[in-house]
Structure 1
Amino acid sequence: MTVYLDYSATTPVLPEVADLVHNVMLEEYGNAGSRTHEYGLNAKRMVEFARTQVATVVNADKTEVIFTSGATESNNIVILGLREFAEKTNKKHIITSKIEHKAILEPVNYLEQQGFDVTYLDVTPDGQINIEQLKASLRDDTVLVSIMHINNETGVIQPINEICHILSVHNAYFHVDAAQSFGKYPFDLENKRIDFISISGHKIYAPKGVGALIMRRRGYTKSPLVPIYYGGGQEKGLRPGTLATPLVAGLGLACEIATKNSSEWIKEVAVLKYEFTAMITELGAVINGTNTSPYVLNFSIPGINSEAAIVQLKGIIAVSNGSACTSNSYTPSHVLVAMGIDEERINGAIRVSFGACTKKIPYRDIQNQLKKLL
C-alpha cells in the first residue's frame, strides 16, 4: 500500500471528524440562519461552538472568527476587502514576498493592475524573507503587509514575531496566511499584532471546502474590511451565503483535536523527518531551505529529475514536486526561483510532507528505487 507523504497538499480527515460531519449531515441538517425552530437553533449552536474551537487555537475571541471555504477565500477577503479603505485613506501600498502562495500573489497582482503599488520582498537562499528590506519598504501609505507563516513548498518558517515587532510602530495591517501551520505548529500566531489569519480545514484533518478568517480587533476598533461579493449578509456581512454547518462543525472539532495533540504531533513528525533526511543524505541530497517546519522536507538529489523520481516511487510513497495548486502548470517553482536555486536543482526538487497519520515509512524501498535513477 502506498504511504501518503503529501500532507502539505491536503490531509486525510480524522475518523472522529468524519463521524461528526456525517452525523450533522444526516441528523442536524438545519440552516444556522433559521432561528424559528429547533433545527436552525441547533445548527446555530454548533456553528458558534466551532467558532470558539477555532478561536482557541490562537487565543482569539470567537467573535473574531468568520467561516469561509478555505484559506484562498480568506486571503482574497483580506486583500480585496481592504481596497475601499485603502483608496479612501490614500494608502495604496502593499508589502508581500516573492514566495507567497498564489492565493496571495494573484489578488495582490490584481490590485497592482488597479493602481496599487506593491513591494515584493526578496528572500535569502535559505528561504527567509529579507527583514531589512521589509523595514526599508514600510511607508506612510503602506496599508497591508502579508507574509505567510510556513511556506507550502519548502516548509521554511518566517519570523512572524520579528515582523510583529517591526510593525508595532506602524499602522499597516498585518495578514498571515497560516494554512500550513494553524493548529499544527502552535507558535507565533497568538501575537496580537497579527490582524488577520487565514486557515484551511483540509490542512488540519478537516474536510475540504471549509476554512476561516480570524480578524483581530485593535482595541475596540474592528477591521475596515468590506465584502468582496454580496447576498445575504452572513458572517458579519463579509462572507454571504448559507454556512455548511457539517463542515464548520468538522473544522471546529479538528481544531480542538489539534490543540490537544500538536505538541505530540510535532515530536512524531520530527522523528520521521530526521530519519527521511538521513536516508536521502546517503544519496547526496541537498535540502532546500533552512529553519523549516517539522512537517515538510524539500530536497534535490543531483542527477535525479523529480518527475522521474515520482514515477519511480509510485506505489511506494505519494509525494510531490511543488504546490498542489500549480503542479499542473509545469513551470519552475516560483519559490525556489526566488531563493536563487539553479535550474537543475529546481527540476530535481521533491517535497515530502508528514502528518499525524504517518506511522511507518519504507525507507529501504525508497532508497533502492532512487538509486536506480543515479
Structure 2
Amino acid sequence: MTVASITDGSGELRHALSQATYLDFNATAPVDERVAAEVLRYMTLEFGNAGSRTHGYGQAAKERVNQARREIAEVVEARPEEIIFTSGATESDNIAILGLAAHGEATGRKHIISTQIEHKAVLEPLEVLASRGFDVELLAPSDGGWVPAEAVAAALRPDTLLVSVMAANNETGVIQPVEEIAKVLAGHAAFFHVDAAQAFGKVVAPLQNPRLDLMAISGHKIGAPKGIGALVTRRRGFKRPPLAPLMFGGGQERGLRPGTLPVPLIAGLGTASRLALTEVDVRTDRANQIKELLLRSLLPLGATLNGDPRRTLPTTLNLSLPGVDSEAAIVALKDLAAVSNGSACTSQSYDPSHVLMAAGLPRERIDGAIRMSWGTATIDVPAEEIATRLSALVPR
C-alpha cells in the first residue's frame, strides 16, 4: 500500500484510499491516525459544548479548545487569543478581506494590493470589494512564479488598506517572499494578509514574522479533518485588526465568527498543528527525498519545471512534458498514481491555469502541466513506473 491504513470502529483495518499512490496532497491530505483518534474521543467521550459553563462536560470541551489555540499559536508564534476558529482557509480569507471593508470605507483607505496567482478564495472576495469601489491592484509574478517584494513596494500608496499575498502557491508550490514583503510594510499602516493554506506546518520561520497581521489556515492540508481552519488575527500593540463579522448570532470567537464550536474538529486541528511543528524536520527531509526521486525519473523525459525550483515547497512538483496533454497524462496514470493538473477548487473546469498564465508560460506548457504533491502519509512512490507510463505519451 502507498498510504497508511486506518482503523474503523470495529477494530478491523480498512484502507483509506485505492491502490493508486496518492499524489494530490495539495488538494487534501488523509487524516493522521493520531488526529483521528483525538477527533473520535471528542465526538464520543468528551462531547460537551465549549459554551456550556454550568457543568464539567462543557468545561472539558472549553479546555480542549483553549489547548488547541495554544497548539496552533505556537506554530506561528502568535498569542492563543489571536486564533479564531473557522470552517477552513476559504472562510478565513473571506473574513480577513471582506471584514476590513467597513474600516477602509470609514478611513478612506480603499487601495488593495494582491497578486494574480492567489487562490480563488482571495481573488473572488477582492472582486466583491472592487465592485464596491475599492481599487484592487493585482501584481504579476515572475516567470518563476513568485511576486518580488520590490513590486509590492512600488505599488504601495498612503491609502493602501491591505496587502494580500499567499505564503505558497497551491499549484506550483512556489514559496512567496512574505518576509521580504513584511520588511517593505514596516512603518506602513496597511494590513498584511497571508493565505497560508499550503504553507502552515510546512514552512515555519516566515509565518512567525510578527508583521503578518492576518493569516488563513486550513486543517485538511496537514492531516486534520476537512471543515476546520483558523484565522490568525495578530494585534498591533493592544489593538486587534478592525475586522467586522460576516455572520451574526451567538457571539462565539470574540464576536467575529459565531456558531457552536466544533470541538472534535478543533481538537484535531490542534493535534495536527502540534505534530506538524514537532515533526517538521523529519517530514521535510522525507519530502525532499520523494521530490529527488521523482525528478531523477522525470527530468530525462524532457520535463520542464513550472515554478522556480529554488523556491518550491519540498512537497510539491509541477511540471510539463513536451507534447503531452495533462488530461492524457492523468488518464495514463489513473490506476498507478492520483495526480492533478491544478487547483481542486477549479478541477471541474477545463480553463487554463490562471497561475501559469500569469507567469507568462506558453499555452502548450500550461495545457501539459501536471501537479504532484505528497505528505507524511506517503510511504512509497513508483517513480520509475510513472516515468515509463508518461514516456509512452511523449512524441518521438
Does TM, scored on the shorter chain, surpass 0.5?
yes
Question: RMSD of the alignment, in Å?
Answer: 0.8
Q: Structure 1 residues 130, 186: closer, same or farther in 2, change over 3 A? A: closer
Equivalent residue number for residue 380 of structure 2: 360
Give the equivalent residue in structure 1 for 2:232: 214
Deviations 1:328-358 (A, max 9, x none): 1110000000000111100100000010111
In the TM superposition, what are the counterparts of 1:1-374 in structure 2 within 5 Å? 1-290=19-308, 291-374=311-394
SS, match of residue 205 in structure 2: coil
> Contact 2:148/2:177 (CA < 8 Å) preserved in 1?
no
Post-superposition offset of 1:169:
2.3
Shift of 1:364: 1.9
1:135 Cα deviation after fit? 1.1
Structure 2: segments with no counterpart, 5+ residues: 1-18
What SS does the corresponding residue of 1:28 show, helix, strand or coil?
coil
Residue by residue over 1:20-76, the C-alpha shift from the partner in whole angstroms, topping out at 9 and shown as x without a partner, is 101110111111111111111111111011110000001111010010000000000
Instruction: Work out the CA distance in 2 between the residues paired with 1:144 and 1:297.
Output: 30
Residue identity in the other structure for 1:309: A
Aligned AA (2:55): H
Aligned partner of residue 120 in structure 1, secondary structure: strand
Shift of 1:18: 0.3
- AA partner of residue 307 (structure 2): G
**SS state of the match for residue 254, structure 2?**
coil
TM-score, normalised with respect to structure 2:
0.93
TM-score by length of structure 1 reads: 0.99
Q: Determine the C-alpha separation between the residues in 1 that align with 2:353 and 2:152.
A: 23
Counterpart Cα distance in 1 of 2:393 and 2:369: 14
Give the counterpart letter for 2:330 in structure 1.
I
In the alignment, is the contact (CA less than 8 A) between 1:121 and 1:130 conserved in 2? Answer: no
User: What are the Cα deviations for residues 253-300 of structure 1, in whole angstroms up to 9, with x where unaligned?
Assistant: 000111100111011101110110121101000000111111110000
> Which residue does the alignment assign to 2:9?
none
**Residues in 2 aligned to 1:370 and 1:315: alpha-carbon distance in whole angstroms:** 13
The one-letter code matched in structure 1 to 2:258 is P
AA aligned opposite 2:312:
T
State the one-letter code of the partner of 1:272: I
CA distance, structure 2, for counterparts of residue 217 and residue 322 of structure 1:
35
What CA deviation, in whole Å up to 9, does each residue of 1:134-154 have, x standing for no partner? Answer: 111111110000000000000
Extract structure 1 runs of 4+ deviating beyond 3 A.
none
Q: Displacement, 1:303? A: 1.0
**Alpha-carbon distance between aligned partners in 2 of 1:212 and 1:358, rounded to the nearest angstrom:** 25
| Separation in 2, partners of 1:362, 1:346 | 25
Q: Secondary structure at the match of 2:92?
A: helix
User: What displacement does 1:130 show?
Assistant: 3.7
Q: CA deviation at 1:13?
A: 0.4
Aligned residues: 374
**Does the aligned pair in 2 maintain the 1:32–1:43 contact within 8 Å?**
yes
- Kept in 2, the 8 Å contact 1:69–1:209? The answer is yes
Following superposition, the deviation at residue 365 of structure 1 comes to: 1.3
Please give the alpha-carbon distance, in whole angstroms, between the structure 2 residues aligned to 1:210 and 1:113. 29
3-state SS in 1 of match to 2:67: helix
| Secondary structure of residue in 1 paired with 2:197 | coil
Instruction: Give the match's secondary structure for 2:126.
Output: helix
Amino acid at match of 1:83: A
Task: For 2:229 and 2:285, locate their aligned partners in 1 and report how far apart those are by CA, in whole Å.
Answer: 26
1:131 positional shift: 2.8
CA deviation map 1:293-322 (0-9, x unaligned) = 111100000111100000000111101000
Following superposition, the deviation at residue 221 of structure 1 comes to: 1.2
Give, in angstroms, the shift of residue 238 of structure 1.
Answer: 0.4
Query: What is the distance in 1 between the residues matched to 2:205 and 2:323?
Result: 37
- Partner amino acid for 1:356? T
Q: Percent identity?
A: 53
Range with greater deviation from structure 2 (123-132 or 75-84):
123-132
- Matched AA of 1:300: S
Deviations 1:220-249 (A, max 9, x none): 111100101111110010000001000000
Deviation at 1:85, TM superposition (A): 0.5
Distance 2:141 2:389 in 1: 34
- Would the aligned equivalents of 1:122 and 1:130 in 2 still touch at CA under 8 Å? no
